[in-house]
Structure formats: structure tokens, C-alpha cells
Amino acid sequence: MSEGLFSIEGKTALVTGGTRGVGEMIARGFVEAGARVYISSRKTDAGEETAAELSKLGTCVFVPANLSTEDGCRQLATEIGAMEPRLDILVNNAGANWGAPLSQWDDAAWDRVLDLNLKGVFHLTRYCLPMLEAAGTPDDPARVINIGSIDGLHTPRMETYSYGASKAAVHQLTRHLAWRLAPRVTVNAVAPGPFESKMMAATLREFGESIVASAALKRLGRPDDMAGVAIFLASRAGSYLTGAVIPVDGGIATLA
């Protein structure tokens, strides 16, 4: 009964922002698990470098994209659709952060985060939907995995107002889309806590020791922690789960 329960071998996945941080952790885990993985990023050099590295482990293809615009989302979906008639897994990970004192916030500071973190998730999912529905069945749905944050579950310590708000909105969008896209597509969110990444670097420099101390498990997240939950959601083991927001944070959000 358990044979192949956590297998994603042979599936096709798109991981946005897959060149570094959480996205690279998930992309690497998928490649190692036998999936055919496409990664996207605005930075061509970083994308090609990551794809070349992951291609040593399996199949990984880089497609450049700017997902902060609707046209960029449409273009990426079109390029993937030209190569793949079906898409089993979409990981909406591409994101941005911004922090500044309250007095310095303006519309531009909000737009640069919300356009990518929230609107990009919505538009890319919408444009990839035909490929997802072609891959999914009620017994084995296609999967959308949105990357939220524990900053959308509890109050952030830093003045990153748009980031926390965008991630809380991603969690709600996840629940909304889960109802709309069932039963051929499941939609779940992962809310990462502290993982070592470029986006988290400043926070960890300033608050690293206290963050670790506040976690029930007393450590930062590791790449396998992130890859593991994504593989679970993408595999048969996660086929009856939709509309969920899963904190992967060592217990921080639970205790906050």
C-alpha cells in the first residue's frame, strides 16, 4: 500500500524563484526525487548556473521570467506550455521583501512586494491552469504549492509591512483557489520560518540567536526540511490535502 507513496518520479514541475533560497531547496529536492524541473528567475546568469548544477543530478531547465507583471506571468506559462503539454506541480516561490521605517513607506514600496508576492502568484496560477488541469485527475490532482511565510501568521519583528501582509494574503488566496480548482488541482501553502537564504540574511544577522532560541526545535531550517514538505505535498501522500497552510518553522508560529 505504501509503495510509491512519496514518489514524484516522472512528474513535471515548475519552481519560480528556483535559483536560490527556499526555491532552490525545493527544486533540488524535486530533481533528486526524479521529477523534470523547470526553474525561473529574473537573473539569467544565476538561473543558468543553478540549472547546470542541478542537471548533474537529473533534469533541470532554466526559463527567465519577470513575474512581477501579468505579461511576465503569461509569457512564462506560454514558454512552459510550448515545451510541456501538462504540468503536474507548480511551486509559486518567487518573492521580494522590503523593510524601512514607517515614515518612508509609499506606494512604490508596497507595489514592488505585492506585485510579485501576491499578484504574481495569482496570475501565474491562472495562466498555468490549462496545463495543470490537463495533468490532474480527481484521484491524482495536479498540485499548486504557494510559498507563504510565518510572517503571515504572526507579527514580524522588522518593519517589513508589505511582506507580512502579502504572505497573509497568499495564505488566504491559497484557501480560495483550493475551493475553485478542486478536484483536478490541489492548492496548499508552505509557511517557512527561518532558513538560511539571501532574503533572510539581514534578519538572521540581527536576530539569529533569538530566533533560534524562540523555536521549539532550537535550530534553523535545513534544505531537506523544505524539500521534504514540498515532496510530500506533490506526491500521492499529499493528494487528499488542499487549502492547508503548513508552517515549517521549528514551532515558532505555534508558540508565538
Q: What is the pLDDT of residues 165-178, one digit of tens each?
A: 999 999 999 999 99
pTM reported for the whole predicted model: 0.94
Q: What percent of the chain is modeled with pLDDT above 70?
A: 95
Catalytic hit among 38, 127, 161, 163: 163
> Taking residues 247-253, what's their average pLDDT?
89
CB of 7 within 8 A of CB of 34? yes
> Taking residues 99-118, what's their average pLDDT?
93
d(CA 203, CA 185) in angstroms, rounded, equals: 35
Q: Is the pLDDT of residue 122 over 60?
A: yes
Q: Is the pLDDT of residue 1 over 60?
A: no
pLDDT category of residue 200 using cuts at 50, 70 and 90: low
CATH of domain 12-248: 3.40.50.720
Determine whether 163 is an active site residue. Answer: yes
pLDDT category of residue 194 using cuts at 50, 70 and 90: confident
Set of cell numbers at residue 219: 535550530
Instruction: Map residue 3 onto helix, strand or coil.
Output: coil
Say how many C-beta atoms besides its own lie within 10 A of residue 57's C-beta. Answer: 13
Q: Is the pLDDT of residue 159 over 60?
A: yes
pLDDT category of residue 234 using cuts at 50, 70 and 90: very high
Confidence (pLDDT) at 185? 98
Confidence (pLDDT) at 219? 87
Q: What percent of the chain is modeled with pLDDT above 90?
A: 79
Q: Is the pLDDT of residue 29 over 80?
A: yes
241 vs 206, residue with greater confidence = 241
The mean predicted confidence, pLDDT, of the chain is 93
d(CA 33, CA 162) in angstroms, rounded, equals: 35
Confidence (pLDDT) at 206? 65
CB of 32 within 8 A of CB of 58? yes
Set of cell numbers at residue 149: 511565510
Range in 2-6, 135-139, 167-171, 187-191 the model is least confident about: 2-6
- Selection from 166, 100, 178, 176 nearest residue 136 by Cα: 178
Confidence (pLDDT) at 221? 86
> Taking residues 225-247, what's their average pLDDT?
98
